[in-house]
Amino acid sequence: MPEITEDEQIIKTEFSEVMQKSYIDYAMSVIISRALPDVRDGLKPVQRRTLYDMHELGIKYDSPYRKSARIVGDTMGKYHPHGDSSIYDALVVMAQDFKKGMPLVDGHGNFGSIEGDGAAAMRYTEARLQKFSQEVLLADLDKDVVDFVPNFDETEKEPSVLPARLPNLLINGTEGIAVGMATNMPPHNVGEVIDTVKAYMLNPEISTLELLEYLKGPDFPTGGIVVNKDELWSVYESGSGKIKIRGRVESEKVKGGRERLVITEIPYTMIGANISKFLLDIVSLIETKKTNDIVDISNQSSKEGIRIVIELKKDADIENVKNLLYKKTKLEDTFGVNMLAVCDGRPETLGLRDIIRYHVDFQRELLRRKYRTLLEKELEKKEIQEGLIHACDVIDLIIEILRGSKDLKMAKACLVEGKTEGINFKSRISRKMAEQLRFTEKQAKAILDMRLYRLIGLEIEALMKEHDQTLKNIDNYKDILTNPKSMDKVIIRSLDGFKKEYATERKTEITNAGEAVFEEKKIEESEVIFLMDRFGYARTIDLQTYERNKETVDNENKYVFSVMNTGKICVFTDSGQMHSLKVMDLPMGKLRDKGVPIDNVSNYNSQKERYIYVSSLERLISQKLCFITQKSMMKQVEGSEFDVVKRSVNASGLSDGDMVISVSPIVAEDVVILRSKEGFYIKFLLDEVPFKKKSALGVRGMKLSENDLVEKAYLYAYGCEEEVMVDGKAVDLSKLKLSKRDGKGTKIRIK
């Protein structure tokens, strides 16, 4: 073992402690540096860096578009050392007007659609800043209003936060998944947000309920109707809760006295692939006969807006169909609110008042820093202006000093300190006057840099006016910095300006609406015949059709049994699962119809499992089942155990590598025979197999050698003569000697 030098040391620590610390560090990095927005500007780091990079590149709202690839590459190289896809995805979302209340990026090209189409590759699209971003998020960066921090490799500086003039967190909302936490905030109306901020500034003790008189609720870019207005107070007070939102449905009259429903606005949660799912859900309602009133459905949406048309039968109950859509599809959905943001470097769930309070405090800090910077510039300007004004009064003396000095240094020393050594003056009086000069360094520099045209009378007059304005600015800035009321007036004045520029009409209606009640037409209960072929295609036919074609049906199908049309079918698989499906979900067809795969109407997956027993729940409840696995585990289970609400349940516990080979209903059988792959047979009474719960493993029926498995199981009434075919040869099982369970069995050689 090598010796440890003085500069090296081994630190012994618990592995669990190292893992815990590493995981916490990683989690905090994801929370603070990626997934959650800052409460002050409402932006995640990738969004902030992308907007700042566009600002630095000069891609402003009134300048030409630039390739998205250039923006992404520059952002990644300078500020955000992660994958280019994360930067481009952020850029795309900031440009999508159907996701953001106020888009922050002006995209040119294919930036995706509301129906879930993705944006074109970054090499094809172009972008530039929106005017809103430039004026509301990026203004005054040159006035030292926010701190700049080193980038990842300390070669550049980036703002720790953008100087947002409006609460972007509320206006555009946000969503993000961190480690152990997530944020999801809806967008709001710009004008209402501004009014809410003003109301808080005028009365800091205002309650959330009073604030909601100004901020009515979320304003989704897709419109829609929020139907739980009375519950919004709780959501905005606590920062979490649920908002119920519906799409807007209108009825139109068409020829023939019929009407149709037209969906013109969708819930915000339906954006993307959920629109296609919504259409499929309606088709499913028709196929499963939940409604007979819908004739056709078409998606006629375009760039002009959403238009989904549902054609109805004549004399259809329109309100009932509407309620069906609200109840059974995503036309009414829930938006889960979780107003989580980074505040003072840590994640915090915020109510509406908290967000407004943080924003107002941030605005005051921005103004303090802005006007402190402006005041310093005005004081510097005042100093120079006073120097120039005084210089104009003694301009002849200054010219004499300049003409009599040997170099610039000598002239500057005379102006600043009154040193006259080495300077030739016309008279002793001029020398004495020069000795009294005490200009500051900045004034002296300005005088020496002054051009002769500044001595014109009009220029001197303009200088005096400029000086008066500078004095007014200084008084104004000092008043803003020392008087909180003056500062608040400035904030409110800017808010009014933004409202005039960017306020829009509300898109989402806020109201109270009762729960959608759909009166499902009562199904007339009747007996039907369930059919399932060996390929797993299932359907139902009526009794009369079956009776007329009994022989054909029995020959062509693996499972044929009667069942009530309101009942359920249970499918047991080799993976130990029981999947149930409603008879109503199966097509009621003619004799030669193909049916549907049971994969389509249940959780059964034919790619991963194989069905081994199918029965109706009605028949199953009165039965007892015997389960046998290939590792020889056995149990008896009461059929009533499978009368459950879930679509899939664990029908049998299995050890690793085991699978169910037989699920058999027990009628009069009292003997079980197991056959292994290696040709061993064992025969014992079924009474030796105990009754167990459906999730139990069971007991061993046969001792198997290391590589042997149970291949086949037979259940018979004791004393019956039974012959089976094995590898094309007949085997008489009745001659097997009755033994006890869990024996090795007898090997039978087939001749």
CATH assignment of the domain containing 276: 3.30.1360.40
Is 290 found in the same domain as 385? no
Position 563 pLDDT exceeds 80: yes
- Number of domains forming the structure of the chain: 3
Q: How confident is the model at residue 460 (pLDDT cuts 50, 70, 90)?
A: confident
Q: Assess contact for 267 and 333: CB atoms under 8 A.
A: yes
Which CATH number is 446's domain given?
1.10.268.10
E strand segments, 153-256:
157-159, 174-177, 182-185, 225-226, 240-246, 248-253
Range from 78-87, 196-205, 251-260 carrying the lowest mean pLDDT: 251-260
Written in H, E and C, the secondary structure of 440-458 is: CHHHHHHHHHCCHHHHCHH
Band the pLDDT of 290: cuts 50, 70, 90.
confident
- In this structure, are 440 and 491 located in the same domain? yes
414 and 497 co-located in one domain: yes
Confirm whether 479 is domain-assigned.
yes
Report the pLDDT averaged over residues 236-241.
94
In this prediction, residue 445 has a pLDDT band, given cuts at 50, 70 and 90, of confident
31: pLDDT confidence band, cut at 50, 70 and 90?
low
The DSSP symbol for 733 reads G
Q: Are residues 430 and 315 in the same domain?
A: no
pLDDT given at position 191: 96
**Residue 635: predicted pLDDT:** 92
Average pLDDT value for residue range 456-473: 82
CA gap 312, 632 in Å, rounded: 58
Tell me, yes or no, whether 118 lies in a domain.
yes
pLDDT confidence band for 414 (50 / 70 / 90): confident
Greater pLDDT, 683 or 194: 194
For the ranges 20-29, 633-642, 729-738, the lowest mean pLDDT is seen at 20-29
In the listed set 163, 187, 205, which residue is the last one of a domain according to the structure? 163
Which is it for the CA torsion 404, 407, 413, 419, positive or negative?
negative
Looking at the predicted structure, is the pLDDT value of residue 723 above 60?
A: yes
124 is a catalytic site residue: yes
Smallest CA-to-CA distance from 57 within 36, 77, 30 is with 77
Instruction: Please say if the pLDDT value at position 435 is more than 90.
Output: no
DSSP-based helix, strand, coil % in the chain, nearest 5: 40, 25, 40
Domain assignment present for residue 48? The answer is yes
- Average of per-residue pLDDT across 350-358: 96
Read off the pLDDT of residues 730-739 as tens digits, 9 standing for 90 and up: 777 777 788 8
Residue 50 to residue 411: CA distance in whole angstroms: 51
3-state secondary structure 196-208: HHHHHHHCCCCCH
- DSSP H or E run through 598: helix 598-601
Q: pLDDT band at 517, cuts 50/70/90?
A: low
pLDDT value at 518 more than 70? no
> Do the domain assignments include residue 262?
yes
Average pLDDT, whole number, for the chain?
88
Name the H helices within 627-674: none
Of 501, 522, 554, the last residue of a domain is 501
Residues 308 and 388 occupy one common structural domain: no
- 80: domain CATH number is 3.90.199.10
Q: Which domain holds residue 72?
A: 43-163
Domain limit, last residue, from 478, 501, 524: 501
Q: Are residues 388 and 496 in the same domain?
A: yes
* pTM exceeding 0.85: no
26, 61, 124, 718: the catalytic one is 124
Reported as a single tens digit per residue, the pLDDT across 364-386 is 999 999 999 999 999 988 888 88
* Beta-carbon-side half-sphere exposure of residue 198 (alpha carbons within 13 Å): 19
**19 belongs to a structural domain:** no
